[in-house]
Amino acid sequence: MSKILEAGRAGALEAAPARRPFRLAAFFDRESTFSWLMLTPPLLFLLAFLGYPFIYGVYLSFFQKEVARAPVFVGFGNFVKLYNDPIFWQAVRNTIIFTGVATIFKASGGLGMALVMNQSFKMKAFTRAALLLPFIVPTVLSTVAWQWILDPGMGLFNRLLMVTHLAERGPSWLGTPTMAMISIIMVNTWRGLPFFGISILAGLQTIPVDLHESATIDGAGTWGRFRYVTLPALMPVILIVTVFSIVITFFDFQLVYVLTGGGPANSTHLMATYAYSLSMGAGQMGLGSAVALSMVPVLGLLLVALTFFVRKD
């Protein structure tokens, strides 16, 4: 019995004199052997289906690669081309605006949702499930519904504007560059807000009640308690959810692909949809990969900007 225990401890075998025989069972029970045996299959899988495509994708971004042709090495040629491409810079700008503005809306709206939900009322579990629905339903399906809501002629929004006589003719929600950007940010906010709401609610429920009580005794009002007790306690949760949401929003592809296809006139392309349209639409896979690779430093900059913003606060 004690032999197994000793052998189980990683260093025990080496430390013991040589008289102890090598035992296979004990070998497999070593933490390092056991770990690497467990890790090998998933790591091999990730190397084959994530590592290899990643390296090949980086490689492609230094080549001129067109459909059914052998790649030709162009060095930084693709990146130079992108540097001089106004649509690329438009896509970079759009991605930053889309990610930044939508995240701010989602975070503030989600905080509001959490504060409202953090009261006791009947059917709370049911309400929470209903509020999360936009986040559950496949993005493409809800986005198609939004496309119909935003339809300039017969869509819900413009019909409601007409019925209530708020406007003679509603705006062309997806037809002008500015309105189309506003629309994609709106739809992304609709979908992602519950994620913030429900996560922050979970954070709220971990704040001890006596913190609020002692703040009240010290004379803090509702606002004071929110500003000096609730908000600081929530900051770690908000921060993690924000980072997570920035990454997801930054890589968003399907919403824009379905809602505007990057149009009108390339004005709503995100870097992801532009990379796709270069690779698949124009058949320039090297250039498309270069756009995709450029996403990494831009995302890095956004996350660094967030850190500075938080530090200043």
Q: How far is the CB of 311 from another protein (least distance, A)?
A: 19
Helix (H, G, I), strand (E, B) or coil at 73: strand
Rounded CA separation 266/278 (Å): 12
- End-to-end Cα distance, the chain: 58
Q: How far is the CB of 206 from another protein (least distance, A)?
A: 6
Q: Which of residues 140-159 bind another protein (CB under 8 A)?
A: 140-142, 144-149, 151, 154, 156, 159
* Interface characters, 278-307, with another protein (x: CB under 8 A): -xx----x--xx-xxx-xx--xx-------
Considering only 23, 52, 265, 281, the residue that binds another protein (CB under 8 A) is: 52
How many residues line the site for another protein (CB under 8 A)?
100
Q: How far is the CB of 186 from another protein (least distance, A)?
A: 10
Q: Which of residues 159-218 bind another protein (CB under 8 A)?
A: 159-160, 163, 190, 194-195, 197-199, 202-203, 206
Considering only 10, 87, 211, 306, the residue that binds another protein (CB under 8 A) is: 10
Q: Which of residues 92-121 bind another protein (CB under 8 A)?
A: 112-113, 116-117, 119, 121
- The tokens for 296 are 């990494």
* Interface characters, 256-275, with another protein (x: CB under 8 A): -xx------------xx--x
CA atoms in the 13 A half-sphere facing the CB of 241: 24
Nearer to another protein, 18 or 42 (CB): 42
Contact range with another protein by CB under 8 A, out of 12-20, 73-81, 100-108, 248-256: 248-256
Give one word for 195, left, alpha or beta, with left for phi > 0 and alpha for psi -120 to 50: alpha
Rounded CA separation 300/165 (Å): 47
* φ, ψ for residue 215, nearest 5 deg: -65, -40
Q: How far is the CB of 62 from another protein (least distance, A)?
A: 13
* In contact, 203 and 234? CB cutoff 8 Å: yes
* In contact, 175 and 267? CB cutoff 8 Å: no
Q: How far is the CB of 163 from another protein (least distance, A)?
A: 7
* Interface characters, 217-236, with another protein (x: CB under 8 A): -------------------x
H or E segment and range at residue 271: helix 271-276
- The tokens for 219 are 């004379």
* In contact, 137 and 192? CB cutoff 8 Å: no
Residue 91: closest CA among 288, 303, 313, 308? 288
Nearer to another protein, 146 or 179 (CB): 146
